[in-house]
Amino acid sequence: MSKNIDPFEETKTIIKQAFPDDKTIAHVDEIMEFIKANRIAWNADEADRDLKSCRVLYSKKIYSHAVYHLQQAVEKAMKGYCLGLGILSIQEIRGHDTPYVLLKGVFEKTGMKTLLESLSEDAKDRLGKAWEAIEKPEKRLEIARMPFEQIMDSLNDIDDYKLISEQIGVLLIQLAANVKGKSESPPSEIATISVMANLYILGSVSFPHEEFTRYPDRQMTPTEYVSKLGIVKAIPKMIDYLAPAVKDLRHTLT
């Protein structure tokens, strides 16, 4: 193979050969643009602190504060993620509309929105609902009171996105072997594909709670955060997904 061949172009060829009938290949250009984005350089300490606070408060059954710190951990991870990629400025990440940060940043500026919409009708529907929830307060309340089973259905999608990124990683290892004659690890940016989906789904489930866990004069008050509330029941599982994502961000440094 000629050394003058663009490795990203070769990667596109490998992906197309590996997934000849898969919908992934229809958006291979978007995948490549995402992979070529600036590498993440971000300190995950703040998100870690919120996760630790969440665990302690949950164990003490102080549920409204546990949910608040969970939401803050997701938000800080997502903002650091977008800042680290260099696609959003400090001014652009102000506020607490967590899904909007990613919708405005990664999805709109890298083309990943098109890819996610193509994966399934559920993914496309979730994107639409995220925009709607940002614009309509009543939709935020609907998300905040989401049943546990519905939250779990959303979290299960994270595994699908992780599988896609792992498949792409394997293909890039094959590429390195073909070009350089030796096996190498895939670019660390590959991990950010699954991290992106992880943070988006966690953010779309948790973002209304920044408001409702703190202010007693809102439509939903802190006293409603009891053990049977969907978001409270889902805390352990959400931590299971968020903690590895934060770890991935910490180790994906320039």
1 within a domain of the structure (yes/no): no
133 within a domain of the structure (yes/no): yes
> What is the rounded average pLDDT for all residues in the chain?
75
- The answer to whether residues 65 and 213 touch, using CB atoms and an 8 Å cutoff, is yes
The pLDDT value recorded for residue 117 is: 65
Question: Which structure tokens are listed for 212?
Answer: 């409702």
pLDDT (mean) for 152-162: 82
**pLDDT, tens only, 106-139:** 666 665 666 666 656 766 776 677 677 667 778 8
The pLDDT value recorded for residue 79 is: 81
The pLDDT value recorded for residue 72 is: 92
Closest C-alpha among 206, 220, 242 to residue 133:
206
pTM of the model: 0.72
2 within a domain of the structure (yes/no): no
- As a dihedral over the C-alpha atoms of residue 154, residue 249, residue 134, residue 36, rounded to 10 degrees, the angle is -100
Is the pLDDT confidence value at 39 over 70? Answer: no
99 within a domain of the structure (yes/no): yes
Domain with 213, as residue range(s), is 7-251
Is the pLDDT confidence value at 64 over 90? Answer: yes
72 within a domain of the structure (yes/no): yes
Q: How far is the C-alpha of 51 from the C-alpha of 44, rounded, in Å? A: 11
**pLDDT, tens only, 171-203:** 666 665 665 555 555 555 555 667 777 888 898
Number of structural domains the chain divides into: 1
Question: Which structure tokens are listed for 190?
Answer: 């590959």
